[in-house]
Structure 1
Amino acid sequence: MTPSSMPKRPSDPLDLVDVDALLTDEEKAIRATVRQVCDDLVEPHVVEWYEKGELPVARELALEFGKVGLLGMHLEGYGCAGMSSVDYGLACLELEASDSGIRSLVSVQGSLAMAAIHMFGSPEQKEEWLPRMATGEVIGCFGLTEPDHGSDPASMRTRARRDGEDWVLDGGKLWITNGTIADVAVVWANAGGEHGGIRGFVVPTDTPGFEARELHTKMSLRASVTAELTLTGVRLPADAVLPEVTGLNGPLACLSEARFGIVWGCLGAARTALEAARRYSTERTQFDRPIAGFQLTQAKLAHMSTELTLGRLLALHLGRRKDTVGLRPEQVSVGKYNNVTKAIEICRTARTILGGNGISGEFPVMRHANNLESVLTYEGTVEMHTLVIGQALTGESAFR
């Protein structure tokens, strides 16, 4: 091979092995569209939102995301875009490259609330809610986690009982994204063995007895709406129940959808932190030279870049599999376990390259690292995904 015929240096220094070559032109165009939306609507304001611990324009963002088909984008029909799993993953990556809280807004709307209705709802429920949720006119939330029951949802205390033809719900949910801005909540409750055990309910949030209180003491996901839900004698008609599922299979299937988005999304946070560190290292001078010229700095950058590349390849493989034959739960667990743990490691290492500046809000690194502390926990803690993988390897359950 002559020097003139050798491949050129990559145009993107963070894609040394040309992962982009595995994407179609349409996938790249979708990614570029989401990136532009984030650059226009999120990037100019996200530091202020994070510092104030609020997302005051959540509803406005949802409407804008709806205009470009981001909400429930991987669902078919009812006004949804019907895009591929890879398209959705790329969108999640770009959203979380701006902030994990912004990706959570989209994930909870599309992969939890909308997906639950789409997979398990009646035709009437789908027609009533999904078209307006796809446009962002209606915001949804997903009520599963409880104050005392996170990793063990089978022990939930929220109860649903029959009273004549109606259902009556009592209980509470915690750490509910979009809770105080939601128009509709998908709430999971124990209806007792005679009614199928765990059941899902479509609950308009203006129903008497439904209350949502925003949480303001978060040190992570601060640019996000997080709430506690209280249900006190919430009376619903018989047709409020999701008819096509009973038991934990329902909420767990929805969580698998959301976890798939996280497999991609966390890489966006890692990419932003890595690029900030790489750029900083070329501009920061110590001992009369850029710190990018020191071996320890290059070792950090090389390790972070390699882990990010491997995470992208894993996410893309899982996305292609999901679009063709589907994914088993342990495959999603492998993706979340690997990519989130590596993403948070990348952010923490990037912080060391920035030194004291790494903790400053003028740079995105610490914000992304803090956000990933939440991502490490929600939709299944790293410990639970470890045990899912362990059970798949050994055939032995270590959950109890």
Structure 2
Amino acid sequence: MIKKLKNIIQLLRTVDLEQIEKLSQKVDLPAVMKAVSKMEDNQLKGLMKMLTSSSKKREAPPIDADFYAVEAKLSPEDRALQLRIRTFLETEIKPIVNKYWLHDEFPFEIIPKLAALNVCGYVYEGYGCAGGSSLMDGIIAAEFGRIDPSIATFLGVQSGLAMGSIYLCGSEEQKQEWLPKMQRLEKIGAFGLTEPEVGSATAGGLTTTCKKTEAGWVLNGQKKWIGNSTFSDMTIIWARDLEDGQVKGFIVRKENPGFAVEKIKGKMALRIVQNGLITLTDCLVPESDRLTGANSFRDTAKVLQMTRAGVAWMAVGCARGAYENALAYTLQRKQFGKPIASFQLIQNHLVEMLSNLTAMQTLAFRLSELQDEGKLKDEHASLAKVFCTLRTRDIVSRAREVMGGNGILLEYNVARFLADAEAIYSYEGTKEINSLIVGRSITGFSAFV
């Protein structure tokens, strides 16, 4: 008993009289003393530990979504570029995206700022492009996806699909005309492959046609879900040649007669991306605007293979953004007097999210290494697209779950990631189609039809 009282007196000595006076107004101090005096030694030690530890402010560890230090493998120059891009996105893009996402509009004022980053067409050699690595190009896509998948998609269409079609399939004259201006974002491009009734079957089922005439090529048909097309200066259009049945590519300028675009409204995902329904009615395209290196769907597939890796990285970024926002929220949000990050079930969700994210990061990293080594195959890109977009859906769902009702509010960002993940999951080849590409490579059987 004497030992207990000594411990209590020692604790009380750390409290001044004014604090005791304030405490006596809230609780019955004699009753508290009586209850404490009846405690066992181990109970008293626990009480004292609780009282002393509660007075110390608990410092949460920094939020680090790169759990396996993948980014440490970047060169100092690439790491500096990554951080410069991250700072730009945090300061210039993050504050405005919820507003534009809600109103289904594109922030045109950011285009000169994006151009100043000098990352458009990052992997291409010449034409004002950086000639950088595929790995760093993927890191850039992830950084954009981490803040907003819509802006990441805008850049992916411009830099990857549109510029990539010209870079891989265009003539030297076409490259000189378009690539430098597109790299500086002075000219905006779009990529028209998907059709209203043809999505996955584009390899052999395009209904948009082209026919060679004395005046040039005449294109007829429709393209749907074409990002950037409502304001682009040109659109890469893929069409089936009525003469030989092969898929050919064309640079179709916005002023071409017979070319019309209608904005697609009512989307629940990637709302900043301006998707269009393109109608080609006897649209005349000169021979000089036909992509000379695009003479079959195999040439189209070369572009898709290159950009599909970027979509995997974009999914990594989307998942990372959701995870970081969710973790930050759980560290601040209190229930039952404690941050919800201290609860077992919340920690389980966070660890599941981080596990998937880390697996995605390491897979995408190796994918880009294969690309830089010249060893990338269709099945490599397809497996990454399948896995990363599927796991992203799980991560954004758990992020919304740990945030409770606030998870559906734009101001907490996760709702936007949750919706946008659905579009990333479907575009540039659905899970099913990409799974069949991988399945064909590992079994030798084609199960497409």
Pairwise TM-score range, normalised by the shorter structure: over 0.9
| Matched positions, count | 389
Match of 1:302 in 2: 351
Match of 2:274 in 1: 225
Residue 61 of structure 1 and its aligned partner are, at CA, apart by 2.8
Residue 192 of structure 1 and its aligned partner are, at CA, apart by 2.9
Residue 38 of structure 1 and its aligned partner are, at CA, apart by 1.3
* Contact persistence 2:294–2:300 (CA under 8 A): no
| 3-state DSSP of counterpart to 2:167 | helix
* Contact persistence 1:168–1:233 (CA under 8 A): yes
Structure 2 distance, partners of 1:289, 1:64, is: 42
Match of 2:79 in 1: 28
Match of 2:394 in 1: 345
* Contact persistence 2:105–2:274 (CA under 8 A): yes
Residue 285 (structure 2) pairs with residue 285 (structure 1): no
Per-residue deviation, residues 160-216 of structure 1 (Å, max 9, x unmatched): 11111511111110000000111011100011353x611001111111111111112
Greater Cα radius of gyration, structure 1 or 2 = 2
Structure 2 distance, partners of 1:171, 1:41, is: 39
* Contact persistence 1:84–1:323 (CA under 8 A): yes
Structure 1 distance, partners of 2:222, 2:317, is: 33
Q: Which runs of 5+ in 1 are unaligned?
A: 1-8
Structure 2 distance, partners of 1:61, 1:254, is: 26
Residue 232 (structure 2) pairs with residue 179 (structure 1): no
Q: Which runs of 5+ in 2 are unaligned?
A: 1-59
Residue 241 (structure 2) pairs with residue 191 (structure 1): yes
Match of 2:209 in 1: 159
State percent identity of aligned pairs: 36
Q: 1:62 to 1:257 in 2, by over 3 A?
A: farther
1:313 to 362, 366, 369: 362
Residue 11 of structure 1 and its aligned partner are, at CA, apart by 5.6
| 3-state DSSP of counterpart to 1:149 | coil
Residue 16 of structure 1 and its aligned partner are, at CA, apart by 2.9
Structure 2 distance, partners of 1:207, 1:160, is: 15
Structure 2 distance, partners of 1:380, 1:89, is: 18
Residue 12 of structure 1 and its aligned partner are, at CA, apart by 4.8
Q: 1:32 to 1:257 in 2, by over 3 A?
A: same
* Contact persistence 2:169–2:293 (CA under 8 A): yes
| 3-state DSSP of counterpart to 2:283 | strand
Residue 18 of structure 1 and its aligned partner are, at CA, apart by 2.0
* Equivalent residue runs for 1:1-400 within 5 Å: 12-57=63-108, 60-153=109-202, 154-194=204-244, 197-400=246-449
Per-residue deviation, residues 306-365 of structure 1 (Å, max 9, x unmatched): 111111111111111111123100000111111111111100001110000000111111
Match of 1:3 in 2: none
Residue 244 of structure 1 and its aligned partner are, at CA, apart by 1.4
Residue 10 of structure 1 and its aligned partner are, at CA, apart by 8.2
Larger displacement relative to structure 2 (238-247 or 167-176): 238-247
* Contact persistence 1:284–1:290 (CA under 8 A): yes
Structure 1 distance, partners of 2:94, 2:285, is: 41
Amino acid at match of 1:170: N
| 3-state DSSP of counterpart to 2:105 | coil
* Contact persistence 1:177–1:225 (CA under 8 A): yes
* Contact persistence 2:316–2:388 (CA under 8 A): yes
Structure 1 distance, partners of 2:324, 2:88, is: 20
Larger displacement relative to structure 2 (120-129 or 253-262): 253-262
| 3-state DSSP of counterpart to 1:44 | helix
| 3-state DSSP of counterpart to 1:161 | strand
Amino acid at match of 2:75: T
Residue 34 of structure 1 and its aligned partner are, at CA, apart by 1.5
Moved over 6 A (4+): none
Residue 29 of structure 1 and its aligned partner are, at CA, apart by 1.2
Amino acid at match of 2:127: Y
